[in-house]
Amino acid sequence: MHEFDDAVLECFLKNQLQLFPEKVAETLEEAEDFLENCMAVVVDSVEEVIEYFEDAGIDTDGAMDDEILDADEVFDIGDGRYLIIEA
């Protein structure tokens, strides 16, 4: 089970509409439950975001880092880490 800290949960609550048509969580607890249920992951760098997509079989060849980070399922936590949600 992943442990999501408050920075991750607050980032998701603030930015969840970039991935979903309507809010899926209103509180930190709801956000944590949702992220656990959808197998979200937190990675520590842009390189790890790219590695995650490559491991998932998503073709990132030729994609710029910015394009990958702009993907709807990638959330910039703001401290160098990224939240990735499998929607």
Report pLDDT digits (tens) over 1-22.
Answer: 457 999 999 999 999 999 999 9
pLDDT at site 87:
65
Give the mean pLDDT of 70-87: 94
Task: For the beta carbon of residue 50, count every other beta carbon within 10 angstroms.
Answer: 17
pLDDT at site 1:
44
- Give this prediction's pTM: 0.90
pLDDT at site 36:
94
Report pLDDT digits (tens) over 39-78.
Answer: 999 999 999 999 999 999 988 888 888 888 999 999 999 9
Angle at 79 between CA 77 and CA 84, to 5 degrees: 35
The string of DSSP letters for 16-44 reads GGGTSSS-S-SSHHHHHHHHHHTT-EEES
23: left (phi over 0), alpha (psi -120 to 50) or beta: beta
